[in-house]
Each structure stands twice: as structure tokens, then as C-alpha cells.
Chains A and B, each alone.
Chain A
Amino acid sequence: MAILVDTETTLVVQGLTGSEGRFHGLRNRDHGTQVVAGVTPGKGGQDVEGIPIFDTVAAAVAETAANTAMVFVPAPFAADAMYEAIDAGIGTIVCITEGVPVHEMLRIHAFFHSRGIRLIGPNCPGALSPGKANVGIIPAEIFREGTVGLVSRSGTLTYQIGHELTQLGLGNSTIVGVGGDPVVGSSFVDMLSLFEADSQTEQIVMVGEIGGDEEEKAAAFIEAEMSKPVVAYIAGFTAPPGKTMGHAGAIISGSAGTAQAKKDALEARGIRVGTTPTETAELVAELVRA
């Protein structure tokens, strides 16, 4: 089964003709993903190693029946690209682009939620279901197929933990990076509920970091709604506190957001939190052996 991306995924890459889009789009195809189209306005009719390019997402969907979009366009145009994909009827959008303004994301978040569209990212590494499909920039060669669902806010830290799991002989159902920006399309809770419903996934690792309160919300969700065991890791125990101007930020967030507050919230609900990526993988291995 896996979540988000699998053998049913038909992918259109917005920005396939750019250097990054091309490199990763082709890499995704090499992993077995059905990359059916690319979109670059003005380059319709061309192709990238046999993948047809269209001027609009609507044209790409009409011709190829793409059901998933990956956004690889520069930040100033990324929001527009996401709206275009929704209008074309795409149901799952993965936005890799870093640097989308937070006000754009506030509007997109509200818009997507009102329409039931699934957005992963922005500023994320995408989703990989080993052996089935890879949509994004996750290096597939370090992962193998298995039963562990992995969700993270980070890119490279996801690879680190996935690598540690692989070293212990464990594999993954799906690895998903939801993105590191303050406002992203999908939260930990969204991904945890997909993993809970997924028949391939038996254990879950959640990799959080300081900032925001998504880990705290996830802790409450895990306790109330989940039957599958979850192990967590939180980065940023020794991160320097940033400076903040004015009082509004302190009033809004209070003490939420520190690594310790997140660890406490998780442990209070019986969720084990690894001290290092290595120890986190070992905790998962214990679950698998149990």
C-alpha cells in the first residue's frame, strides 16, 4: 500500500525543463515513478528524455491523466504553480521549492483545506515509497521497502534517520518530509492519520524539530487516535534561541516550541523520544522485534 505516492501515481513536474527539475524528475523516473508530463509555459511540444512538455497543467492533465504534481519552479512563481495544479484537477501536490512567502502560504493553506487537496511542502524533500514511487529529492538508494512509516519536517535529517534504519536491516513503507517552513500544506497529524490507515505501515517514526506546536498536536493525536506504535526524535535541544521583537510572539506561542516542551508533551503520552538519530533507530528496531 504505502501512502501518498505508489504505483498508481502519474506525475506531472512543473518546472521539468529547469536544471533541478530535470535532474530530480529523471531520477524519480529511474526509481520507477510514472513521470508522464512536464510543464513549462512556452515550451509545450518539447520533451525531456521522452517526457512530453506542456504549456499548462490543464493541457498536461488532459493528455496524460496525471494525478500528482511536483512543483520545482522558483519561489516567486511557486504559489501560482500550486493554484494552477489545483485548477487542473490535481489531487496531490508536492512543492519542493524553498522560500515561498509566509503570507502566500497562509492563503494557500486555507484554500487547499477548503477544497480537500493534499499539499506536501513547500520547502520539503517530497515523498518516497521504496520500490513503488519517488516524488521529490529523497535519495532512494539509501532506503529499502518495509513496514516503518517515516515523517519528518526536515530533509537531510530524514535521510540520516532512514539510513540508520537501513543499517539495522529495517525498511520503510513511505518516507515523507512535510517541509520546514512555518506554514506547510500537511501536518504531522495529517501524515500520522494516513499511516494509521495504511496496511503496509506497522510502526512510525516522527522526526520533529523546534518551533511551532505541530509535535505537541501530534502527541495528543497519537494518544487519542492511533493504534500503531510511534517513536519520535526532536532536533534542536541546544539550538540558540532567536531574538524576537515586541510582545505579540511571546503572547501567542508561550513556551510551546522548545525541544524540551515537545519531548515532554510526547513522553507524557507514553511516546518514546530518541536522544540521537542512532538511538531513535534502535527504539524502532525494538518495536519491530517485539
Chain B
Amino acid sequence: MLAHTADRLRSTSRPGRLARVLDLHEFQGKELFQRFGIPVSEGRLATTPDEARAAADELGGQVVVKAQVLTGGRGKAGGIKVAETPDEAQARATEILGMDIRGHTVEKVWVERASDIAREYYLSIAFDRSAKRPLFMFTTQGGMDIEEVAASSPDALVRLHVDPLEGYHPWQARRLVFQAGVREPPEQKQIVAIIGKLYEAFVGCDATLCEINPLVVTPEGEVRALDSKFTVDDNALFRHPDLAEMRDVGAADPLEALAREKGVTYVKLDGDVGVLGNGAGLTMSTVDVVTFVGGRPADFCDLGGGGDAQGVVDALEVITKDPDVRSIFFNIFGGITRCDEVARGILQALAQMGIEHPIVVRLDGTNAEEGRRLLRESDASNVHTEATMLDGARRAVELAAE
């Protein structure tokens, strides 16, 4: 579905359950492009200005120094700069490394041989959730705001779905290329080949997005991927150990990184009521209800399906590391999760970590009575039980305000 205004299109949110995906850096995506036979410029990764200098020296001639951060808008933020000599590459890397781009600190730069550009195109294949099919998009109007192109001249952006059972056929690439108006035959041929390889990369890596923006044509007529946005489905990483290793753990929020290490699903928010639920839907609803009764949630923390005592201890460790948290609300509806295990986890965490935050606990479902009894019989003065989700939320909000 194409939204109607460019403003709407510029939204960068990806609403939904916690995005279970792995976003790759440009240099990693290009490594994968190369593996699948998509032409890219030669380059080197550098984490220090000295390394950038050595990289430029090895590559020879004019190079581009590019910040490697998992966010868009690098160019506008000054994170992409041209250097004529190795000394200049070192100087540009000094400027770029450590720079903050939309909340991301630059820790690596990609130094690559500069390209002369005659034309810039845009090519992507992405998972279209609504149609339940992969979708190719291609336009010759690259190098500008592509979402603006999609909004203002939708005909210029050629779209084509691929049937996941039938797979890709070369006619689809020809359709994209001819309909978008690529004129030069050698160019047509190269892009058709790249489209086929991009589909192979998309399926072969279990990607949810492979985007080349821009896909450039050099004055000599050579077509090449000048950038890459590559996102992989987390659920498929069990069959891609090499891709799983590409995850940049340093790029995440420290609390979120700790949570991932502990296997806890956690997103930091900016309030003071720590929220912990079981299951994404109930946890989302709990965050909503805390807000609805006038509170400000400090996090979204989903214990998930299992939720044994250790899982609760780990979750509490993550939540209480946030200095803004003033009270904690456990909202558990046992199904697979057993409420007595949750109660044991809470008591274990109190004993191990000496948590002093008031903890409001609401338990229902599997073994709820046993869980409530365990909490009642403990002498933890900071644990409060409530009978309903709404009352639990109110109590936690009151306690946060005290």
C-alpha cells in the first residue's frame, strides 16, 4: 500500500512486536553482495585513523571514508567524506570516528575506492507483509529522496511481487528494467543479472530487506552497488551461523545488550515504572494500561513463553539497572508460564540482589494460587500483590510517585 504523503512515508518506525531482525552494516552487506556476485567497489574496514590511512594507501587514488552505523542519514550528518591521499583519509577518519550520528557513535569506517558516477538508480527487494510476498522495487530516479519519488511519481518506481513458491524468473528483472526505462543495452544486461543475484542473496540469507541505494552507473557504463542495507530474519539465524556472528553487539543500548546476553526481551522507555509481563501482547497491553492510569513505563520487558525462576531473576537484573525505575509491575497470566515459578524467581532475585524497589505483582492462570501463597508467606515487605491488571497498574504508578 502506498501512503499518500511524503511525510507519512518518511516515518522510520517499524511498529510491531520487537523487531526480531539483524541489521547489517554497509560493509557486511557488501561482503554478502560480493559473495553472491553483485559488483561493489573494493574497500577496507578501519577502526582507527592509522588503519584508514593504510587502507587508502593500499587502495591507491581517491577514496571515500564512510561511517559504519546502523542508521540512515550518514551523508547529511557528515559521516561520508572523500579523500585524495592517504593523509587526507587519515584526517577524514579522525573526524568521522567517534562522531555521533542520530544517537549512534561511529566506531568503524569503511574506506573504499571512489567511483565516478554517471547515473544513480535504486533497487531493493523486501518482505511485503501485507501481500505475504517478496517485493522488488526499482527506479532510475535514484540519488534523491526515494520515498519522495514513491509518493510524487509512483509510476517511476516499478514494483513487482515474486511468488514465493514459483521463485524468481529472469523475465521479472527484464520487466523491472524496461518498465523503468533503462536505455543502454549493456546496462540493461548488467542490471538484469544484478536483480537475479539480489534475489538469490535475499532468499539465500533469509533476508527481509536487501536495498541498493544508489545502484550507480559509471561513465564507462559499469553498474555497481555503492551502498547496502541488509536485514536478516533472526528466526533463520540457526541456519546462518556466519551471519549470526555479524551482529554488532556494541551498537545496541547497553541495557538492551545486557538483556540480549541474558536472553531477556527488553526495550528501554523513558518513564519510571518498570513493566514486566509474559508474552508480547500482554506486555504491550500492560505498558498501555500503565500509561492509561497516568504512569510512565520505564521499559517493555517480556518474559516470553517459558519464564522459569532464573528468567525472572535475569529480567529483574536488567530492569533494576535502569536508574530511573522507581517501582516495578509484574503482570503475569500463566499459560505455559507457571505463576509459582515466577514467584520463586522474584523471591530469589530479592535474596540475591537485595532489590529495594516496591514490586507490585499480579498473577493469574497456571498455578496462580501457589504463586500468590509463596509471595504472601515470604516476609518481603516491598512485594505487593494485586488481584487485577488495572489495580496492579494503579498501585505501581502510585508507588513510583512516592
Which residues of A does B touch, CB under 8 Å? 20, 24, 75-76, 98-104, 106-107, 109-111, 114, 125, 137-139, 142, 152-160, 163, 180, 182-183, 207, 209-213, 233, 235-259, 275-278
Contact = CB atoms under 8 A, between A and B. Distances in A.
A111 B235 contact: no
A248 B209 contact: yes
B171 interface: no
B279 interface: yes
Given A242-B19, A246-B213, 17 more contacts: A76-B238, A106-B132, A139-B334, A155-B282, A182-B16, A207-B281, A209-B280, A238-B287, A238-B291, A241-B14, A242-B18, A243-B12, A245-B23, A245-B72, A248-B126, A252-B1, A253-B129
Contacts of A259: 15
Interface in B166-212: 203, 206, 208-209, 211
A243 B19 CA distance: 8
Top 3 A-B residue pairs of the complex, sorted by shortest distance between their CB atoms: A154-B281, A211-B16, A254-B3
B8 A180 contact: no
B371 interface: no
A254 B4 CA distance: 8
Given A103-B203, A142-B365, A276-B390, A125 B335 contact: yes
B206 A137 contact: no
29 contacts: A100-B235, A101-B236, A102-B127, A110-B164, A137-B335, A139-B334, A156-B281, A156-B333, A156-B365, A157-B333, A159-B364, A160-B364, A182-B129, A210-B15, A210-B16, A212-B130, A213-B1, A235-B282, A235-B288, A236-B288, A239-B284, A239-B287, A239-B288, A247-B124, A250-B12, A251-B147, A257-B15, A259-B15, A276-B285
B17 interface: yes
B9 A241 contact: no
A155 B12 contact: no
Contact of B130 (A114, A154, A256): A256
Contact of A253 (B17, B130, B203, B229): B130
Interface residues of B, number: 83
Nearest to A103: B206
Contacts of A107: 164-165
A239 B282 CA distance: 12
B133 interface: yes
Contact of B133 (A20, A106, A207, A258): A106
B335 A155 contact: yes
B366 interface: yes
A236 B235 contact: no
Contacts, number: 251
Interface in B4-30: 4, 8-19, 23
Nearest to B293: A276
Contacts of A103: 164, 203, 206, 233, 236
B336 A137 contact: yes
Contacts of B229: 245-246, 248
B1 A254 contact: yes
A240 B133 CA distance: 26
B15 A236 contact: yes
Contact of B231 (A110, A245, A257): A245
B72 A159 contact: no
Interface string B51-91: 00000000000000000001110000000000000000000
Nearest to A167: B388
Interface string B126-146: 111110111101000000001
Nearest to A241: B13
B130 A249 contact: no
A247 B281 contact: no
Contacts of B135: 248, 252
Contact of A251 (B9, B14, B163): B9
B335 A254 contact: no
Contacts of B282: 154-157, 159-160, 235
Given A76-B239, A139-B335, A238-B297, A251 B209 contact: no
Contacts of A98: 305
B223 interface: no
Contacts of A154: 279-282
Contacts of B235: 75, 99-102
Taking each of B18, B203, B297, B389, which has the highest tally of chain A beta carbons within 10 Å of its own beta carbon?
A: B389
Given A154-B281, A254-B2, A246 B335 contact: no
Given A242-B14, A246-B124, A277-B285, A183 B2 contact: no
Taking each of B10, B128, B132, which has the highest tally of chain A beta carbons within 10 Å of its own beta carbon?
A: B132
A254 B11 CA distance: 8
A104 B365 CA distance: 33
B269 interface: yes
Given A106-B132, A156-B333, A243 B14 contact: yes
Contacts of B289: 276-277
B300 interface: yes
A155 B233 CA distance: 22
Given A102-B127, A243-B71, A277-B285, A155 B132 contact: no
A185 to B, nearest CB: 11
Contacts of A142: 364-365
Nearest to A209: B281
B33 to A, nearest CB: 14
B206 A153 contact: no
A110 B157 CA distance: 26
B394 to A, nearest CB: 11
B238 A75 contact: yes
A254 B163 CA distance: 22
A235 B281 contact: yes
Contacts of A159: 282, 333, 335, 364-365
Contacts of A137: 335-336
A154 B135 CA distance: 27
Contacts of B11: 250, 254-255
A75 B130 CA distance: 23
Contact of A242 (B13, B164, B333): B13
A152 B157 CA distance: 36
